[in-house]
Each structure stands twice: as structure tokens, then as C-alpha cells.
Amino acid sequence: MTIKVLIIDDSALIRSLLTEIINGQPDMEVVGTAPDPLIAREKIKELNPDVLTLDVEMPRMDGLVFLEKLMRLRPMPVIMVSSLTEKSSYITLHALELGAVDFVTKPHIDIARGMNAYADEIGAKIRTAAKSRISGVNRNPTHTHLSVERKNSADVVLPSLSRSISSTEKIIAIGASTGGTEALRELLTSLPADCPGVVVTQHMPEAFTKTFAKRLDSLCKISVKEAEHGDRILPGHAYIAPGNMHLLVSRSGANYVAQLSDGPPVNRHRPSVDVLFRSAANFAGKNAVGIILTGMGDDGAAGMLEMKEAGAYTIAQDESSCVVFGMPKEAIARGGVSAVTTLQSMGRCLFDHLATQGERAFRV
């Protein structure tokens, strides 16, 4: 089945480049283009596309205003097309909050030297968007341990952990891809200020991860920053892998520290979730918790199995709350997952596990 794509961009050159790239894919076709959202609105009605690409900065009607109206009145998969500027990165992250599935950076005029890689990226993201869950997400806050019955829990901000956890050596490793920016926002904002140190690999290019970390830092009780080589991983702090750099957990004496690597991509990604999870398995073992969130592909599945085999507790986001169920599904299939939970109950699932590791169980 051919994926029908509508391109919305005020630049005739960008519209032409994107049309050439997308029409070069064997399973998709550009059915129309529009220079602004007002024209796009009519073309959506006329052409009924499967996926939109939308410039983040548009004339006549702001792209974010258009996206908000679209998601309210006619939800459909949208990929934002963003330039590599700080302003554009903030707008793009806001667009993801409003419901855009993913984003790509604008193609450069001299992109011929890297056209194949760019074409592969945008083609893969359009395919993912066409299959993504845009509406009807299950908000039932429950989690399922694979060996026990499903049980309900309240969707609340979690209380302090300090009196429930005796070890200061716990660490939480999280991996995510498509849909992960919003999943991470929901999960991290639920964590108390004294939670164990958190390390995060989210598939995201350079120039966006620092903005993303700043955005999370402004919303969370914990402190959030883009990871730097040698950072001590402290309780109440989260460290986001920089774009185009692997993030690993290591030890310096009794402390966990962050290491960055520009080694080869793993599973086509740098940063790679597998790289993070394997390092957590090696250096934290049973003191680690691994969490795999929404995303296409299988990055993180092998590393999560290694974490579980090393004694770590591992959690996967369930299908009903994922934008794309690829990464969690593969981790579950390989036997690397201890519990499956909705995104809305993941903080409680994590908290319940951490509380049982302390001197006494936490009681609400």
C-alpha cells in the first residue's frame, strides 16, 4: 500500500527537495504540496493524505497553531521539518507535545553528498508515522507484572523515596525513540526529587538534546541536564545522552559516572539504547532498573535482556500507551522484561519496585 504524503512548507526549494526524496521511496508518494497552512487545510480535505510533513515556522498561520487545530479536529500523523537552530528546536519540541509523531531536520541545498542517508531517514520516519498511534491511547493507569495478575494503582505524583530505599547505589536507565520525548516528560515529571540517578538515551540529533534537557529541567522535580563526560550520576538528577554521542554508565570508586563515546552507531543509532543498557548491566547489575519506552525498531532489546540477566528489574511500556510499540515489543519477545505497564502507571511501577528494595516497603 502506497503512503500518501502532503508536504507543507513555505520554501519552494524545500518542497521540491522533499518531493524528490519522498517520491524516490518505493512505497510512498507525494500527493500534494502547500506553501502555507491555509492552503494545506483545503488540500487535506481534497487529497486525504496518510502523513503530513510540516515546516515548524510558517507564514499566514503559525505552524504550531495549525498543528493544534489539526490534532483537535482531524488527528493524523505529522512529521515536523525543522532547521538546526535553538529557536526551531524549542518549536519542534512544542510540536511533539501537541501531537506530532517525529521530526527531521531541513535538507540542505548541498545535500547531494548525503542524500542517501537523508532519504533513508525521512523514508523510515514517514513509514513509522503512517503506522503510529495518534489517538485512542489507553489512559487506564495499570501495570502488569509478567508473572502475576494485573493490578490497579493511582496516577499520582510519587512521594519521597528517601525513607523507603536503603541503598544509595540504585540507578535508572531509560531508552526511547519515536514518541519518547512526551513519554519521558510524563515519566520524569512523576518522579520525586530524591529518586535514584537517571540516565536517558532518546534517539535525537545534535542541537536538540540540550534544548530537550532544559525543557524537562523546567518541568521536573528532579534536575535534568544534557550529559557531559565524567558527570557523577547523582540521586535526584537525570542525564540525557547528547545527540550523536553514546551515553554509558561506569564507576569511579563507589560512584556512578557518565561516559560519552563517539564510537560507531549501534542498531543504526548513536546514541544507542543498547549501549546504555549494556553498560548498566555491567556496572550496576541488580542495583539498576531498566525502562524501555515507545519507539520503532529493536534498539535496547538485547541490552535490556542483559540487564535482566544481570539481576536488574526491567520495565516496558505497554502497547496501548505507545506511539510505536516496536522497541518494547521486541524487548518483551526476547524475554528481557520483568513488568509491562502503561506509561501513566510506570512511575508507580518503578516506585513499588524501589520501595521493596529498601528496609521497609512504602505504603501510600
Question: Which DSSP string corresponds to 138-190?
Answer: ----EEEETTS--EE---------TTT---S--EEEEEE-TTHHHHHHHHHHT
What is the rounded distance in angstroms from the CA atom of residue 275 to the CA atom of residue 303? 7
- Which pairs with CB-CB distance under 8 Å and at least 24 residues apart come from 208-213? 208/89, 208/92, 208/93, 208/243, 209/240, 209/241, 209/242, 209/243, 210/242, 211/86, 211/89, 211/90, 211/93, 212/89, 212/93, 212/181, 212/240, 213/240
Task: In whole angstroms, give the CA distance from residue 151 to residue 147.
Answer: 12
Peptide bond before residue 271 is cis, with ω within 30 degrees of 0: yes
Nearest-Å Rg of the Cα atoms of the chain is: 21
Q: Which residues are catalytic?
A: 177, 203, 299
Query: Quick check: 97 and 89 in contact, CB under 8 A?
Result: no
In which residue are the cell numbers 498511534 written? Answer: 133
Is residue 194 within 8 Å of residue 235, measured between CB atoms? yes
Q: What is the CB-side half-sphere exposure of residue 60 using CA atoms within 13 A?
A: 12
